[in-house]
Chain A
Amino acid sequence: MTLISKVGSFVTGTARMAFLGGNRYYYLWLAVLGLCIVQAGFAFAHQFQYGLISTSMRDSVSWGFYIGNFTFLVGVAAAAVLLVVPAYVYDWKPIKEVALFGELLAVASIVMCLLFVLVDMGRPDRFWHIIPFIGRMNLPSAIMAWDAIVLNIYLGVNLLVASYLVYCGYHGIHYNKKFVWPLVIFSIPMAISIHTVTAFLYNGMASRPYWNSAILAPRFIASAFCSGPALLLILFQILRKVSAFEIKDEAIHKVAELMAYAMGFNLFLFGAEVFKEYYSNTHHLVHYQYLFAGLHGKASPIALYAWMSLAFAVISFFLFLIPRTRRNFVTMNIGCVLIYASVYIEKGIALIIPGFTPDQLGQVYEYVPSATELRVAAGVFGIGFLLFTLMVKVSVSILFERPQAEGQAVHV
């Protein structure tokens, strides 16, 4: 077989695997995602026609739900490294078998990140202005330009490694370690860098005291190492139930243990930030007051979420710290949901909105996302989850369900 026909058979074969041979829940799931995407198409068409005035964002709070979701998903993407490090660097077998799914999650997350940036742009038609060489990137000074570069590199690396491994599995050939290994090693610092650069985007702004804190990047990394794996642990249990996918309990427990450390560190950093703000009690405290209570005698619409996020983080930390609750699948799954919710609120709501409230001239604009924003966001998640679902379906079929793949060492 020539390379071209091999690739051709891979493309048609995987397409068949992605769409055929699922049970009715699989197609129901695809239909739900399709519905999310279609309704978002209408919402986005409206936004595209009338402009971002159809969102609740205004000059005071000029970034909102879209950029919050973007930031959260960068964290989810970066968290793939939590599987890659124990799998490849420490050569820990039980995780190695599932590390590929971390990479697939990274791919889907970055795609969602890029879409969230695109829908947030005032002029999405001018996206080419930020493409290297044909546009005009403001390097080295603009962090956003760096962010575009690292996100795309990270996407490229993960897409390459994951599709190469699946390709080798499909044809039942052994992957070339000399090709995969350097890419995998390279993806580790890239994972850290995507979230660090995204944190620097906020961190570097002296105009916004709420973000202008040196521990913002470490906080981003710590919270990301909880949220991404939380999603994967639940996914692994579902896959184990409904397909031939295999994962050992000890791998799940090990990931949960790493999450406990990350959450502990996250809470410590958060405490350090809170201490500094409240003890020094400068004008900059207003942003925390808006986050947790309200300003000028008026309750803040986000305070409830902020307290929920904190409570979820503390509860899940203890659930994952104590070995008995960590190894019990019921309490562990409760912990996963709590962690995911906690970090989602922290990044989606508690990071962006208080940074802008009150604004640079002390004015308070109460931002609550509009229906258009919620609908478009649902569509972006729909696209990401659809992509992830199809990729996972193909990978599970090839690595676990095809008889000829058995015994083939697809994992590094």
Chain B
Amino acid sequence: MRELPTLPMPAPEPPAEGYTRREALVMGLFALAAAATTSGCAADKLALDDFVAKHFKDLSPAELQERLAQMEKRYSESYGKPVKVSATPAQEGVLFGYALDLSRCIGCRKCVYGCVEENNQSRDPQTHWITVLEMDKEDGVNLQNANAFYDHETVPAPGKFYMPVACQQCENPPCVKVCPVEATWREPDGIVVIDYDWCIGCRNCIAGCPYGARRFNWGTPGIPKDELNPVTEYLGNRPRQRGVVEKCTFCIQRVRQGLYPKCVEVCPVGARKFGNLLDPESEIRYIIENKRVYILKEELNTQPKFFYYYGL
């Protein structure tokens, strides 16, 4: 794969003098919470830091670095190995797009479990970002007859076809529109991300998403220490907390480094294609321009950057 151009990191801004009104008020809340706890011991400090954690977009470059270091320390300690947390910015001239060949997919769910490992989804309770639907070839795409819980000895089952569904990275994302606190937004490269430190867990986005792509951490996510993927991204696969929403980010920790998403890599039949929609020479552009493309729930005007197609 071709190397993607890299963007120089912006120089850290000098810390602003004094407090803004918002900061002053947050500090007030901080003081209130501090008074409620007994002492300034380490655990309290951590809990208080979390309580007053700022929105990702409100962090100054210096604060962001501090926060990243804090997270790395915490995750490294709890998983017993060095964990890297990055906040790689989007690159200019890149709009990520995904294509999935419905005529090739055999429903093996390799993508589902590859994604779980790469993106640190909870193993207990189980969380899957990708849902593979089994439908009748006779019936075509008909979600009312779709089965997400098929369990055959071998796949594909006769007369069936398979449709993996994950976040469609909409250009017009209803989940972003309905979030009451701006905890989720669309990045310039088209990836819809979530700030796990800002999400209040109201699940409005889950109600608003037409694709059933979002997952809520109903319990405390459980990942065995040795299974944690230590290469993580702030807005991507870093370990999540209980009570917040998560979903597919096109493997933001990989694609912003010029790697393919994990599901593309593990698909045994080559049904998954990925690339830059703004590059006229890309494979993804070739598919969209030359193949029969199907957009899931196109009538809702969400304008997904995820395209199903019939390659055969």
Q: Which residues does A use to contact B, with CB under 8 Å?
A: 50-53, 55, 57-60, 62-63, 117, 120-123, 125-130, 133-138, 141-145, 148, 201-202, 204-208, 283, 286, 355-356, 358-363
Query: Which A residues are in CB contact (< 8 Å) with B242?
Result: 51, 122
Return the chain A residue nearest B58 by Cβ: A136
CA distance A145 to B301 in the complex (A): 23
Of the candidates A57, A144, A360, the one whose C-beta lies within 8 Å of that of B178 is: A144
Let me know if B300 is at the binding interface, CB within 8 A: yes
B125 touches A362 (CB 8 A): no
* Interface status of B243 (Cβ within 8 A of chain A): yes
Q: Mark B172-215, 1 if CB is under 8 A from A, else 0.
A: 00100111111100000000000000111111101111111011
CB distance from B107 to the nearest CB of A (A): 14
Q: How many residues of B contact A (CB 8 A)?
A: 55
Q: Is B310 an interface residue (CB 8 A)?
A: no
Check A361/B133 contact, CB under 8 A, given A51-B220, A57-B218, A145-B180. Answer: yes
Query: Cβ of A136 and Cβ of B243 under 8 Å apart?
Result: no
What sequence of 0s and 1s flags, for each residue 146-168 of chain B, a beta carbon within 8 Å of any chain A beta carbon?
Answer: 10110000000000000001000
A362–B198 CA distance with the chains assembled, in angstroms: 30
Is the CB–CB distance between B22 and A138 below 8 Å? no
Are B174 and A205 closer than 8 Å at their CB atoms?
Answer: yes
Residue ranges of B at the interface with A (Cβ–Cβ < 8 Å): 21-22, 25-26, 29, 51, 55, 58, 125, 131, 133, 142-146, 148-149, 165, 174, 177-183, 198-204, 206-212, 214-220, 241-245, 300-301
A120 and B182: CB pair below 8 A?
A: no
A-B contact pairs, 25 of them (CB 8 A): A51-B218, A53-B219, A62-B206, A121-B202, A122-B217, A122-B245, A123-B201, A126-B198, A126-B199, A129-B200, A136-B55, A141-B177, A142-B179, A143-B178, A144-B202, A201-B204, A205-B174, A205-B208, A206-B301, A207-B208, A207-B209, A283-B143, A360-B143, A360-B209, A361-B165
In-complex Cβ contact of B218 among A52, A133, A145 (8 A): A52
B242 closest partner in A (C-beta)? A51
User: Which residue of A is nearest B135, CB measured?
Assistant: A362
CB-based contact B182/A138 at 8 Å? yes
Given the known inter-chain contacts A51-B217, A134-B22, A137-B181, please indicate yes or no for A360 contacting B210, CB distance below 8 A.
yes
| Residue among A125, A205, A283, A361 having the largest count of chain B Cβ atoms under 10 Å | A361
Q: Which of B145, B148, B218 contacts A53 (CB 8 A)?
A: B218
Q: How far is the CA of A129 from the CA of B219 in the complex (A)?
A: 22
**Would B144 and A53 count as touching, CB distance under 8 A?**
no
Q: Given contacts A120-B203, A122-B243, could you give 20 more A-B pairs where the C-beta distance is less than 8 Å? A: A51-B220, A53-B219, A63-B207, A122-B244, A126-B198, A128-B26, A128-B29, A129-B181, A133-B25, A136-B198, A138-B179, A138-B180, A142-B178, A142-B179, A142-B204, A206-B301, A207-B174, A360-B143, A362-B133, A363-B149
A392 to B: closest C-beta gap in Å:
32
Cβ of B240 to closest chain A Cβ, rounded Å: 11
- Closest residue on chain B to residue A285 by CB atoms: B144
Residues on the B chain within 8 Å of A359, using CB: 212
